[in-house]
């Protein structure tokens, strides 16, 4: 069940940045609105690059991906196929999970697991640049007790806890985040 929860968490992050085909500008500043739903595009794949949390897994699961298999614009729902490499079994298990996006801080950037999905998780997209997708888990049990609330000037990330962050990349984009992206991730995840 813990692995399934981690997969859900990863899927949420990927979903937020899929729809930005070819976008290279970072729209995560206080003057623009982050919209994770718009970022995710049907048919796109996202890769988990970094996490700021630890989960007991004994390093047996690697290479997390999220593929956007369905997108419903009317209901703001996205179905992700979450996959990972199981090192101990030498397999690539996949799980389908549907997420509903809610309006939050000016955009559809709050992602929650739809009814029937267990465990329930809530995520906030902190950026919507496909080359630097930062997602925070709001109700993750693995967060640091010293997690801080984001500053008020960052309207799009209002109420998010630091220390529960993931860094995703659109699969067709750069193979690794640039230095500016790592600075944002480290500033968000470890402050």
Q: How confident is the model at residue 93 (pLDDT cuts 50, 70, 90)?
A: confident
* Integer Cα distance of 119 and 137 in angstroms: 13
Which residues make beta-bridge pairs with 46? 66, 170
**pTM score of the predicted model:** 0.68
- CA-nearest of 18, 55, 53 to 171 is 18
As for how many domains the chain has, the answer is 1
78 or 171: whose pLDDT is higher?
78
Tokens 């992050």 belong to: 13
- List, as one string, the DSSP characters of the chain: -HHHHHHHHHHHHHHTTTT-TT--S---STTS---HHHH--TT-EEEEEEESS----TT-EEEEEEEEEEEETTTTEEEEEEEEEETTTTB--EEEEEEEEEEETTEEEEEEEPTT-SS--EEEES--BTTBEEEEESS-TT--TT--BPPTT-GGGTTPBTT-EEEEEETTS-SS--HHHHHHHHHHH--
Report the length, in residues, of the chain. Answer: 191
53 or 20: whose pLDDT is higher?
53
Range of the domain at 38: 2-189
| pLDDT of res. 55 | 60
Q: How confident is the model at residue 156 (pLDDT cuts 50, 70, 90)?
A: very low
| Burial of 17 per CB tally in 10 Å (0-12, 13-18, 19+) | buried
Q: Read off the CATH number of the domain in which 38 is found.
A: 2.40.128.20
pLDDT tens column, 22-80: 343 444 444 478 899 999 999 999 999 888 876 656 667 778 899 999 999 999 999 99
């Amino acid at each position: 069940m813990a692995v399934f929860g981690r997969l859900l968490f990863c899927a949420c992050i990927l979903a937020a940045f899929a729809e930005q085909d070819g976008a290279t500008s970072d729209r995560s500043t206080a003057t623009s609105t982050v919209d994770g739903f718009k970022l995710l595009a049907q048919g796109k794949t996202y890769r988990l690059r970094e996490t700021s949390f630890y989960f007991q897994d004994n390093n047996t699961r690697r290479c997390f991906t999220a593929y956007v298999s369905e997108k419903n614009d009317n209901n703001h729902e996205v179905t992700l196929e979450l996959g990972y490499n199981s090192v101990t079994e030498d397999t690539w298990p996949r799980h389908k999970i549907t997420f509903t996006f809610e309006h939050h801080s000016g955009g559809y950037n709050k992602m929650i697991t739809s009814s029937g999905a267990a465990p329930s998780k809530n995520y906030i997209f902190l950026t919507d640049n496909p080359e630097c997708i930062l997602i925070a888990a709001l109700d993750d049990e693995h967060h640091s007790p010293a997690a801080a609330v984001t500053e008020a000037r960052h309207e799009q990330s209002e109420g998010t806890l630091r220390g529960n962050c993931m860094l995703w990349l659109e699969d067709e984009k750069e193979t690794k985040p640039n230095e500016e992206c790592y600075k944002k991730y480290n500033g968000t995840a470890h402050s």
